[in-house]
Structure 1
């Protein structure tokens, strides 16, 4: 009998409630992203001294159909919906508020990102001071900062969980239907209003996250295997139809920025396949060394995600400056060198994860920290000012510096203060309002 996703997927103090299968899925997704990027980043030094970068994997003829399988971003948001809803429900059960939830989510994501931005600004400023060509500095800033788009989209979806969870509690399918309607409406207007397409950075990923809510409630676990298989096939047939008719491109990398309906359909398929594979995933997660590896990587997953592209770009750039064999991108020698590149990247990530990974740790439960809604709201605005600018204007060294400042200000706004024992007790037992009024 298949276990349900809804057993819990907590973080921090809630490790006993974690779902090992979900953790394994997230680990596999992260590994695929790191490996995939190592096959994409190919800096090229031209005879005139200029440097450009090629997406070697994306230039392969066979890549477009394969990316339907390896485009795992929707699955990230599905599992994020599972864990996010579980975390919000646990916080509410302890008497926590939406502001406390927003604070915890912002700190969890913004602290590691602030360290990355500061390091990138310092490193790129030093490179420019040492005479590195401005074009190379800009190329590094753009490429190394690419993981931040996912952080922004994921954060936007997670911050909406209290509202979306309330809609889900009232009518799960109506809530999902409303989000899908907004996705389709934006897609229909994207030709006439190109900038409106970026609204789907919120609508698409919130819709995919909402499917994770259904999984958290055990809806997918109650379906038969034939039912799950039918859903996966129907989603892929719909995907083939809308791309075959030319309504959307079949290249999922193009569909990723800005996202559109194809990513939602892909998310439906991936959710069904994940549930179909749950018995195998659960068995693998029970293997001791796999469980330890997944647990270790899970505690530092955001650090690995944020830092892998900057490290990969820096490593690739340095190789251009030294007399080291550089096979042409896409050649047989280049492909054979990829395992060495991945190994070198993992070796570089180990000290970085050791140095910065602790920023992901949550030292105190969210329900024990007072957070004023105005402060949480101000922090959200401050964080998304540079994010919105990056989406519309692109990344630059100046914008990375502005992002560092804004993220640091957000961290100051989110400091909060501990609740007293009596206050925490009253919140946990639902007597906060009455007790406060009698004071």
Structure 2
């Protein structure tokens, strides 16, 4: 039998933390091999995705597309967090409040800094196209935050459905994903619905892990599940029903990402016996905690910093080898090192927004105020999805996020009981980064 999953433990699952750290590191490294601004002779600037242009990229991205794995781990920790909060007397409104505060505050800081910085750059004469290129650099991490928030805020509702009928809930969400994929040709705007349906379906795979469902499957069964999911994925892409490039299937997401999620959830459980001893190493455990408590800051800031650094290099006499050439590839470790050096002060300053404890009221929480904060949060997100991200929308998003934070912080309540000790103890706090859980 497979090793016990996260649902069998009473505290944080170190294997989940290790997998989350690996996924975040892979995303940062991958983006360093993608972003390549080019300054043309007429003064215009474009961005090339060098990695995606390689012939070997399509089969490799099947292995390294880790976004479904983020949601699988987020489902496992999220369900456990909700159950602990509920057992302590908490409500769904309190859970939503915690999720919003811990995820929106770091994003608010990013939007505000980008709006002020890029606005100042425009006033100083920087070409509007360069400013828009920087604005686009914020779009990729923000779409993930929006999708993750939508999935996480539905955890109380989906957990209730999961408790009554776990497999039926997963099947129903999967059916909605397929239905949207079938109709997106006639109704292209409908494809955005899978930003909710698909990621909630993948999140349900984490619910199953939290309940030990994957643990009860034999190792040969897990291998069979992973192979079957990839076989179906190969069939639907081979028949031309979906693109073979998983980046194309990412936004808006398609059934392919759900199939990858099934495969990755099975492989995660298969890997647990090998990963668990590594997590027990003292320095690894410390690294996972320090990285985890500020992982959302790293995720949100790394791409804007990378785009900004690459754009500024265009204005300097530093040699810039053509994208995709051997010198360009040899320069990637230097680019990664420079990005990490830029991230250190940013994480030190803005990472505190993740670490600040958020009091959990076990006695009172105004659901209408929480609902209003949810609406205010998603207004700029919806506008960006429909019309694209602009400098003005960055400013509007920062204002909306700030209003949501003020509304949520204004909810009265006294911290008491188990929830109070949870919110004050940093060892039990959730890592509010990628696939965070309120612990």
2:190 is aligned with 1:196: yes
Q: Give me the whole-angstrom Cα distance separating, in 1, the residues matched to 2:82 and 2:103.
A: 16
Alpha-carbon distance in 2 for matches of 1:378, 1:408: 13
Query: Of residues 321, 324, 331 in structure 2, which corresponds to 1:330?
Result: 324
Secondary structure of the residue aligned to 1:54 is strand
C-alpha separation in 2, matches of 1:144 and 1:411: 20
Task: Indicate yes or no: 2:249 matched with 1:258.
Answer: no
The reply to whether residue 219 of structure 1 matches residue 213 of structure 2 is yes
State the Cα deviation string for residues 278-301 of structure 1 (Å, max 9, x = none).
Answer: 011111111222221111110100
Q: Deviations over 1:313-371 (max 9, x none)?
A: 11101111111111111111111111111111111111111100010124244244732
Secondary structure at the counterpart of residue 373 of structure 2: helix
> Aligned-pair RMSD on alpha carbons?
1.6
Q: Distance in 2 between matches of 1:392 and 1:31?
A: 30
**Unaligned residue ranges in structure 2 (runs of 5+):** 421-439
Task: From 106, 109, 116, give the equivalent of 2:110.
Answer: 116
Verify: 1:304 aligned to 2:298, yes or no: yes
**5+ unaligned residues in a row in structure 1: which ranges?**
9-15, 426-439
Q: Distance in 1 between matches of 2:156 and 2:204?
A: 12
Aligned to 1:2: 3
SS in 2 for 1:220: coil
| CA apart distance, 1:90 | 0.3
Match of 1:128 among 109, 117, 122: 122
| d(CA) in 1 for partners of 2:3, 2:77 | 19
Q: Within 5 Å, give how 1:164-203 maps onto structure 2.
A: 164-203=158-197
Q: Distance in 1 between matches of 2:126 and 2:363?
A: 46
State the match for 1:411 in structure 2: 405
Which residue pairs with 1:380 in the alignment? Answer: 374
> Can you list the C-alpha shifts for 1:396-419, whole angstroms capped at 9, x where unaligned?
001111101111111111012232
| Distance (whole Å) between structure 1 residues aligned to residue 71 and residue 90 of structure 2 | 24
Q: Please report the TM-score for the alignment, with normalisation by the length of structure 1.
A: 0.93
**CA–CA distance in structure 1, aligned partners of residues 245 and 209 of structure 2:** 27
Shift of 1:146: 1.9
2:341 is aligned with 1:340:
no
For residues 282 and 19 of structure 1, the distance between their equivalents in structure 2, rounded to whole angstroms, comes to 9
Counterpart of 2:178 in 1: which secondary structure?
Answer: helix
Alignment partners' CA distance in 2, 1:105 and 1:96: 13
Distance 1:384 1:420, change over 3 A: closer
* Cα separation, 2, equivalents of 1:111 and 1:92: 24
Q: Are 1:93 and 2:87 an aligned pair?
A: yes
Q: Which residue of 2 aligns with 1:105?
A: 99
Please report the TM-score for the alignment, with normalisation by the length of structure 2: 0.93
Q: Whole-Å Cα distance in 1 between the matches of residues 354 and 224 of structure 2?
A: 39
Query: Residue 27 of structure 2 is aligned with which of 33, 36, 45?
Result: 33
Alpha-carbon deviations, 1:197-254, whole Å to 9, x = none? 0000000000000010000001111211101000000000000000001100010000
Q: Does 1:73 align with 2:74?
A: no
Instruction: State the shift of 1:127 in Å.
Output: 0.6
**Aligned residues of 1:23 and 1:298 also touching (Cα < 8 A):** yes
Aligned pair partner of 1:159 in 153, 159, 162: 153
Q: Secondary structure at the match of 1:218?
A: coil
For 1:370 and 1:352, locate their aligned partners in 2 and report how far apart those are by CA, in whole Å: 35
Distance 2:305 2:288 in 1: 22
- Structure 1 position 142 matched with structure 2 position 143: no
Q: Are the counterparts in 2 of residues 111 and 359 from structure 1 also a CA contact under 8 Å?
A: yes
Q: 1:50 to 1:413 in 2, by over 3 A?
A: same
Shift of 1:421: 5.5
Greater helix fraction, Structure 1 or Structure 2: 1
Shift >4 Å, 4+ stretches: none
The residue aligned with 1:294 is 288
Q: Does the residue aligned with 2:42 lie in a helix, a strand or coil?
A: coil
Q: Is 1:236 the counterpart of 2:237 in the alignment?
A: no
Q: Quick one: distance in 1 between partners of 2:261 and 2:98?
A: 26
2:207 aligned with 1:206: no
- How far 1:142 moved relative to its partner? 1.0
Aligned residues: 418
SS of residue matched to 1:17: coil
Aligned-pair distance for 1:420?
7.0
